[in-house]
């Protein structure tokens, strides 16, 4: 019997503030239906000045370490496309904030929004080699576009932490995986920019091409048929993209497309992303959290995962929800992470969007805004300073 490996625990965190799309629409004159119905977004998380991918990641991972301890965690993989340093892994800061053992490997992964799935698959390989160890995989991102740009409405911020190990408590990850890579410039962020660049129509087309390619490879490797999946977690740059992607997959597989079937397959996965916004690497796993929190008993059911990262790389794989998973969910904490956010008006959001440290290498502190457990307190000599609150 093959060793069961997968997601043993999952926790997420998001930013201190929330900007309703009604406020954004009032500023730019957009009809609110374009946001609520058109792209399926109601609000977006906005990090405080003293929050970033490190504080979000540590906040997401801390409950996992508190529940399970750190003795078996031998590896930390942090996936992000909004990295804070070109050399040092953000995960090393997280390792320090969480007080993890020094006998730990820490690495940062990047491939747009796909990176966390690479981390999950790498973690499975490590556990396969040594079933006694566990791997902490963290997806943490702040999605940021230019003010008054088409992408502004799809911003967001969140981190998802997953403990990967043998005999998982939530989802057992299956073989095979379907893979797809093609060189395309649909979304990118050069080193000299703090905001991403995106070709919206090119990106949607590249995403749908990747859905086809990953599913084709999955099928050719002996994967399951569409009918054998109870639900599908897609990457969600905006939640209506999950609906569009699933309709495209049904059409590619020559299935009839019915609105109710699409909603049944993806609808419950969009609850958190709809109010948090795009969290890049964390997006598909926020979808998993929403599905597990909202669905009736999924024990023994198969979930499909389509992870997509612009540029582009995609992977399709399946996972089986294990018995007893509902006892391990963090539903109340997840709801609290969303509901605790403080509303911010457009002027306040704009100020935070433009806030940045001077690049002079001096000593600069951050405004104390976050009510979370960790904060970015400032910089000194070009070094970022973090502390537990």
Residue 144 is assigned to a ligand binding site: no
Reported as a single tens digit per residue, the pLDDT across 48-85 is 999 999 999 999 999 999 999 999 999 999 999 999 99
Query: How confident is the model over 311-361, as pLDDT tens digits?
Result: 999 999 999 999 999 999 999 999 999 999 999 999 999 999 999 999 999
Q: Is 233 a catalytic residue?
A: no
Rounded to an integer, the average pLDDT of 305-314 is 98
* Closest residue by Cα to residue 47 from 144, 139, 161, 188: 144
Which CATH superfamily does the domain covering 5-388 fall into?
A: Thiolase/Chalcone synthase (3.40.47.10)
Looking at residue 221, what is its pLDDT? Answer: 98
Q: Is the pLDDT of residue 376 over 80?
A: yes
CA distance 333 to 74: 26
Mean pLDDT calculated for residue range 42-46: 98
Range 381-387 average pLDDT: 97
- Among residues 213, 202, 215, the alpha carbon closest in space to that of 180 is found at 213
Q: What is the pLDDT of residues 147-157, one digit of tens each?
A: 999 999 999 99
User: In the structure encoding, which two tokens stand for residue 286, read together?
Assistant: 């926020």
Query: Which among 21, 95, 113, 243 is annotated as catalytic?
Result: 113
Give the chain's mean pLDDT. 97
Chain-centroid distance, C-alpha 14: 10
> Cis (ω within 30 of 0) for the bond into 167?
no
DSSP 227: G
Looking at the DSSP assignment, which residues form a beta bridge with residue 75? 105, 135
Cα 58 from Cα 334, distance rounded (Å): 15
Alpha helix positions (H), the chain? 21-28, 33, 53-68, 90-98, 115-129, 200-220, 240-252, 259-266, 271-276, 283-294, 331-339, 346-354
pLDDT of residue 1: 75
Quick one: pLDDT at residue 266? Answer: 98
What is the structure's pLDDT at 268?
98
Question: Of residues 16, 81, 108, 152, which has the active-site annotation?
Answer: 81
Has this prediction a pTM greater than 0.85?
yes
Is 51 marked active-site?
no
Specify the pLDDT at position 246. Answer: 98
- pLDDT recorded at residue 2: 85
- Is 145 known as a binding-site position? yes
Distance CA 318, CA 299 (A): 14
Of the listed 8, 21, 95, 235, which one is catalytic?
A: 235
| C-alpha to C-alpha distance for 134 and 127, rounded to whole angstroms | 7
Residue 131 has pLDDT above 80, yes or no: yes
Q: Residue 224: what pLDDT?
A: 98
What six digits make up the tokens of 139? Answer: 């997806």
Please give the pLDDT value at position 206.
Answer: 97
pLDDT average, residue stretch 200-208:
93
pLDDT number for residue 200: 84
Domain ranges of the chain: 5-388
Mean pLDDT computed over 227-237: 98
251 marked among binding-site residues: no
Q: How far apart are the first and last CA of the chain?
A: 46
What pLDDT score was predicted for residue 193? 94
Residue 18 β-bridge partners: 45, 343
CA distances from 208 to 2, 218, 263 (A): 33, 15, 18
Residues 6+ apart with CB under 8 A from 347: none
């Amino acid at each position: 019997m093959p060793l069961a490996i997968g997601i043993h625990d999952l926790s997420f965190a998001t930013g201190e503030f929330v900007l309703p799309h009604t406020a954004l629409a009032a500023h730019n004159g957009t009809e609110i239906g374009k946001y609520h119905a058109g792209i399926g977004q109601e609000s977006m998380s906005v990090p405080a000045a003293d929050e970033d991918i490190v504080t979000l990641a540590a906040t997401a991972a801390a409950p996992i370490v508190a529940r399970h301890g750190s003795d078996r965690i031998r590896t930390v993989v942090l996936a992000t496309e909004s990295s804070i340093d070109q050399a040092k892994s953000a995960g090393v800061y997280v390792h320090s904030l969480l007080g993890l053992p020094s006998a730990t490997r820490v690495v940062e992964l990047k491939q747009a929004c796909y990176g966390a799935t690479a981390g999950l698959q790498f973690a499975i390989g490590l556990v396969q080699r040594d079933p006694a160890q566990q791997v902490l995989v963290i997806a943490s991102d702040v999605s940021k576009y230019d003010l008054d740009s088409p992408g502004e409405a799809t911003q967001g911020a969140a981190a998802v932490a997953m403990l990967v190990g043998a005999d998982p408590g939530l989802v057992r990850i299956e073989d095979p995986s379907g893979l797809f890579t093609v060189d395309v410039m649909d979304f990118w962020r050069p080193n000299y920019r703090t905001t991403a660049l995106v070709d919206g129509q090119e990106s949607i087309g590249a995403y749908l091409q990747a859905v086809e390619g990953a599913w084709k490879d999955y099928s050719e490797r002996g994967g399951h048929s569409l009918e054998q999946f109870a639900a599908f977690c897609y990457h969600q740059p905006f939640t209506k993209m999950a609906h569009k992607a699933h309709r495209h997959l049904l059409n590619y597989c020559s299935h009839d497309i019915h609105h109710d079937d699409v909603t049944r397959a993806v609808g419950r996965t969009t609850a958190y992303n709809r109010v948090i916004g795009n969290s890049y690497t964390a997006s598909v796993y926020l979808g998993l959290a929403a599905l597990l929190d909202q669905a009736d008993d999924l024990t023994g059911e198969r979930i499909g995962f389509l992870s997509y990262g612009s540029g582009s790389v995609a992977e399709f794989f399946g996972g089986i929800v294990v018995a007893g998973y509902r006892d391990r969910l963090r539903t109340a904490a997840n709801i609290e992470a969303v509901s605790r956010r403080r509303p911010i008006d457009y002027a306040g959001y704009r100020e935070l969007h433009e806030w940045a440290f001077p690049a002079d290498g001096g000593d600069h502190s951050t405004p104390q805004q976050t009510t979370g457990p960790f904060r970015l307190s400032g910089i000194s000599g070009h070094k970022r300073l973090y502390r537990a609150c």
